[in-house]
C-alpha cells in the first residue's frame, strides 16, 4: 500500500470504506470526498485479498474515469491497476462486446462510430429512402433513435411500439422507424456500432445469453460506480 489511506478519512468515510458487505449508495455534495471513498474502498478491498478481477469500477464520463484510475493507481500502485476493470460504462461495455462479439454476429474488431460517423450514415439512410432532410432533420432523427436505444429498443421493437409510432405520426415524421431499421442494417453490414449501440447490444447480449450473464455476474462480485447521478440507470 502506497499510503495509509484510512487515516485521512473522516468517520463516515472510514465506515463506507471499511464495510464492504452489501450494496451502499453515497450521496454527498461536490468536493465532499465521494471519489475518495470509492478509491479507498477499492484499495481496501484489494488489501483484504479480494482479487482485482472481481472488481468493476464504472463512471459515466471519460474525465471521471481518468481521475478514478489515477487516484486508485496512487493508492495501490500501477501494477495492480492493470488488472482492474475500470472505465466508463461505454468503454467497459465495448470491452465486453469485443470479447463476446461473435455471439452477436459482429466482428471482434467492430468499429465504433463517433457522432460524425453516425450522422453521415443517417444522412445516407434518409437519402436512400428518398426522404427530405427538411422533413427529417438528421439531428432530430439521430436524437430519436438515440433515445430509443437508451430505452433498449431495437429498430423492430421501436416499429412495434404504438406510442412511438403515434408520436412520430403526430410530428409528421412517420418514417423514423424505417430510417432506424435501415441505419441498424447499415451499421451491421459495416461491422459498426454507435455509442448507444454499446449499451443496447450489451443488454441484448445478456438478455439472450444467460450463461454469459452468469459468467460476468459471478466474476464481478463488486461493482463500484462514481458520479452515479450522471447515469440514466
Ligand atoms: N477526510 C478528508 N480529509 C482531507 N481531505 C479530504 C477528505 N476527503 C476528501 N478530501 C479531499 O477533498 C477533495 C475532494 O474530494 P473528492 O473525493 O474528489 O470529492 P467528490 O468526489 O465528493 O467531489 C480531494 O482533494 C480529496 O483528497
Ligand atoms: Mg468525485
Average pLDDT of the chain to the nearest whole number: 94
Annotate 65-114 with DSSP letters as a single string: HHHHHHHHHHHH-HHHHTTSEEEEHHHHHHHHHHHHGGGGT--TT-EEE-
pLDDT of residue 105: 97
Give nearest CA residue, ligand 1 atom 23: 31
- For the chain, what is the domain count? 2
Residues 6 or more apart in contact with residue 21 via CB below 8 angstroms: none
Is the domain of 17 the same as that of 73?
A: yes
Query: Is residue 91 situated within a structural domain?
Result: yes
Ligand 1: residues with CB < 6 A are 8-10, 13, 28, 30-36
Once rounded to an integer, what is the mean pLDDT over residues 198-204? 97
Residue 233 scores a pLDDT above 80? no
Residues of the chain with pLDDT > 90, as a percent, come to 88
Q: What is the mean pLDDT of residues 114-124?
A: 97
- Show the domain range for 129: 111-190
Between the CA of 39 and the centroid of ligand 2 the distance, in Å, is 10
31-64 confidence digits (pLDDT tens): 999 999 999 999 999 999 999 999 999 999 999 9
pLDDT at 3: 55
Q: Are residues 53 and 79 in the same domain?
A: yes
Q: Are residues 174 and 220 in the same domain?
A: no
**Average of per-residue pLDDT across 109-114:** 97
Helix axes 138-150, 176-189, angle to 10 degrees: 80
Q: Is 203 part of any domain?
A: no
Q: Mean pLDDT, to the nearest integer, of 146-153?
A: 96
Q: Identify the nearest ligand to the CA of 27 by its number.
A: 1
What contacts 126, CB < 8 A, 6 or more positions away?
132, 133, 136, 138, 141, 179
Kindly provide the b/e burial profile for residues 34-70, where b requires at least 16 CB atoms within 10 angstroms of the residue's own CB. Answer: bbbbbbbbbbbbbeeeeebebbbbbbbeeebbebbbe
Q: Which of 70, 28, 69 is nearest to 224 (CA)?
A: 69
Closest ligand to Cα 17: 1
pLDDT at 229 over 90: no
Tens digits of per-residue pLDDT, 1-16?
Answer: 445 788 889 999 999 9
Note the pLDDT tens digit of each residue in 163-190: 999 999 999 999 999 999 999 999 999 9
- State the pLDDT confidence band at 159, using cuts at 50, 70 and 90: very high
Pair (9, 83) in one structural domain:
yes
Q: Would you say residue 155 lies in a domain?
A: yes
Ligand 2 centroid to Cα of residue 1, in Å, is 22
Rounded to 10°, the helix 62-76/34-47 angle is 40
State yes or no: pLDDT of 112 exceeds 80: yes
pLDDT value of residue 9 = 94
Residue 221: give its domain's CATH number: 3.40.50.300
Asked whether the predicted pLDDT for residue 157 surpasses 70, the reply is: yes
Amino acid at each position: 500500500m502506497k499510503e495509509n489511506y484510512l487515516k485521512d478519512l473522516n468517520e463516515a468515510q472510514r465506515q463506507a470504506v471499511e464495510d464492504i458487505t452489501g450494496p451502499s449508495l453515497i450521496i454527498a455534495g461536490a468536493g465532499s470526498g465521494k471519489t475518495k471513498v470509492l478509491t479507498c474502498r477499492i484499495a481496501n478491498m484489494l488489501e483484504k485479498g479480494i482479487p482485482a478481477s472481481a472488481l468493476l469500477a464504472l463512471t459515466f464520463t471519460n474525465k471521471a474515469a481518468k481521475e478514478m484510475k489515477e487516484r486508485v493507481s496512487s493508492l495501490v500502485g500501477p501494477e495492480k491497476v492493470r488488472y482492474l476493470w475500470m472505465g466508463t460504462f461505454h468503454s467497459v461495455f465495448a470491452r465486453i462486446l469485443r470479447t463476446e462479439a461473435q455471439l452477436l454476429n459482429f466482428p471482434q474488431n467492430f468499429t465504433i462510430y463517433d457522432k460524425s460517423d453516425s450522422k453521415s450514415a443517417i444522412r445516407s439512410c434518409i437519402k436512400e429512402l428518398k426522404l427530405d432532410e427538411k422533413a427529417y432533420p438528421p439531428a432530430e432523427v439521430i436524437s430519436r433513435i438515440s433515445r430509443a436505444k437508451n430505452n433498449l429498443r431495437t429498430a423492430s421493437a421501436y416499429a412495434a411500439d404504438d406510442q412511438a409510432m403515434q408520436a412520430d405520426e403526430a410530428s409528421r415524421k412517420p418514417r423514423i422507424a424505417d430510417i432506424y431499421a435501415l441505419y441498424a442494417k447499415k451499421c451491421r453490414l459495416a461491422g459498426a456500432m454507435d455509442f448507444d449501440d454499446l449499451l443496447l447490444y450489451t443488454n441484448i447480449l445478456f438478455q439472450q445469453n444467460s450463461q454469459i450473464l452468469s459468467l460476468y455476474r459471478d466474476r464481478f462480485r463488486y461493482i463500484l460506480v462514481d458520479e452515479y447521478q450522471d447515469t440514466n440507470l
